[in-house]
Amino acid sequence: MTSTGERTHDIVLFGATGFVGRLTAGHLARNAPDGARIALAGRSLERLEKVRSGLDSKAADWPLLVVDASDEAQVAELAAATRVVATTVGPYAKYGMPLVAACAAAGTHYCDLTGEVLFVRDAIDAYQDEAAASGARIVNSCGFDSIPSDLGVWVTAQQVAADGEGTLGETLLHVRTLRGGISGGTIDSMRQQAIVSSADPSARRRAGDPYGLSPSRDEEPSHRNRRPAPRNVLEKVSRQVPVNLDPVTGRWNAPFFMASYNTRIVRRSNALTNWSYGRDFRYDEVMDTGRGPGGAVKAGLTTAVLGGVFTGMSFGPSRQVLDRVLPKPGEGPSEERMAGGRFVLQIETTTTTGARYRTTVAADEDPGYSGTAIMLGQSALALAFDGDTLPDAAGVLTPATGIGQPLVDRLRAHGFTFDCVRV
């Protein structure tokens, strides 16, 4: 591999002219250490110049790289010239694989914002061995997909181990507060995966496999220790209906629309760390909709809307209708609206010794926009400058296994909460 000491850049932000790309560029300009060699990349020099002109003065000399994501030669040249690539260019299944291939070959660290199961699975199958050999850290899902979930569970497991309370058992993430938008890029990725899955039964099966990102599927806890059969009709129904009442809090829960992807990333982290979360670890995510009849109605409506959106994206006529109302790639809210953003997640677990823990992950940031820009920017900075403290790992990784504690520390320094307590 090429020595990272010979590279021209420390970080290249690819897709800097998109909405989240611009936010990430702004974050890097404000927070990168003095002397950091950062470049902005995209398809249009004019748009790159416009982005750079709006940044902090220390970004005035940042190089601008005109690169087409579909041009393998240009992408390979980009990867060979930098230590780290942070990319917002999606849908990743459509545009992202040449960059993954180039980074794996060049030993270049990589981070992205993907929430696409099929893309990550294909990257693992095609480039895991090459990236591991070159020393490249291919770190997927460094935004709201899936840093809060992945690092939140990782922090929980670390605390449980430090306390000598065994390993994690039943673990549930509750979305307590979620104010802010979901980016047009995220919607576009969902759309593209729905199109592929609807046309290809094999892709549909892979996208629907809850253990589809595991490196060793047969070793997953679900295969070793399946849940016992339902004891009665009520229990059977409760497992099939995605709306339920939390018996501890008395609050209604609905499915969390990002759960299907986040849970796969968290399970992969467990497997990649030699099952450090535990062989009995079970994980899911739900959205808290409140107490009483109002909470029940909201849970039902949330479930119906999510089902309608996911189903609608699979069919051409309904997809056209959704396209008129859902955010489009490159679009985003005003600064005023982003300023009102906030998310609060709570992870609750019971360990193998019977101890209970609660981990709060929160930030006063718009989860899909300003919050994601911070998470991606700090992931890139950690990969570029925290080498001595990063986990000893290479290949296609997760935020927890590719960056881990340095990223937790960095996000805490930017106002994020990762607080694990015994309850």
Same-domain pairing of 120 and 177: no
pLDDT of residue 112: 98
* Domain-located, residue 421: no
Q: What is the secondary structure of 314-373 as a DSSP string?
A: TSHHHHHHHHHHSPPTT----HHHHHT-EEEEEEEEEETTS-EEEEEEEESS-TTTHHHH
Domain boundary among 323, 343, 363: 363
Determine, yes or no, domain membership for 422. Answer: no
- Shared domain for 33 and 89, answered yes or no, is yes
Q: CA triplet 349, 158, 11: central angle to 5 degrees?
A: 115
Task: Give the rounded percent of residues in the chain with a pLDDT score beyond 90.
Answer: 71
For residue 196, the Cα-to-chain-centroid distance in whole angstroms is 21
pLDDT tier for residue 303 given thresholds of 50, 70 and 90: confident
**113/188 same-domain check:** no
The least confident of 5-9, 193-197, 382-386, 388-392 is 193-197
User: Quick one: 92 and 220 in the same domain?
Assistant: no
Look up the CATH number of the domain holding residue 122. 3.40.50.720
pLDDT at 95 exceeding the cut of 80: yes
- What the block records as the tokens of 170 is 């039943």
Residue 5: predicted pLDDT: 54
- Asked if residue 155 has pLDDT above 60, the reply is yes
Domain endpoint, select from 363, 383, 408: 363
* pLDDT on residue 6: 84
Does 128 map to a domain? Answer: yes
Residue 110 CA: distances (Å) to CA of 24, 87, 155: 15, 8, 23
Do 208 and 106 share a domain, yes or no? no
Task: Tell me, yes or no, whether 273 lies in a domain.
Answer: yes
Q: Is residue 214 part of a domain?
A: yes
Confidence of residue 310 (pLDDT cuts 50, 70, 90): low
Residues above pLDDT 70, as percent of the chain: 90
State the residue range of the domain holding 380. Answer: 4-143+370-416
Q: Domain for residue 423, yes or no?
A: no
Residues 75 and 127 in one domain: yes
Q: Is the domain of 331 the same as that of 278? A: yes
Residue 228 DSSP one-character state: P
> What is the token pair recorded at 95?
């545009």
Q: What is the DSSP letter of 219?
A: G
Within a domain: residue 335?
yes
Statement to judge: residues 283 and 340 lie in one domain: yes
Based on the fold, state whether residues 103 and 167 are members of the same structural domain.
no
In a domain? residue 396: yes
- Does residue 50 sit in the same domain as residue 181? no
Query: Do 181 and 35 have their domain in common?
Result: no
Is the pLDDT at 405 greater than 50, yes or no? yes
Q: Outline where DSSP puts E strands in 259-298.
A: 282-291
Shared-domain flag, residues 388 and 322: no
Q: For 8-50, what is each residue's pLDDT tens digit?
A: 999 999 999 999 999 999 999 999 999 999 999 999 999 999 9
Q: pTM for this structure? A: 0.91
Q: Is the pLDDT of residue 74 over 90?
A: yes
Question: What domain count does the chain have?
Answer: 2
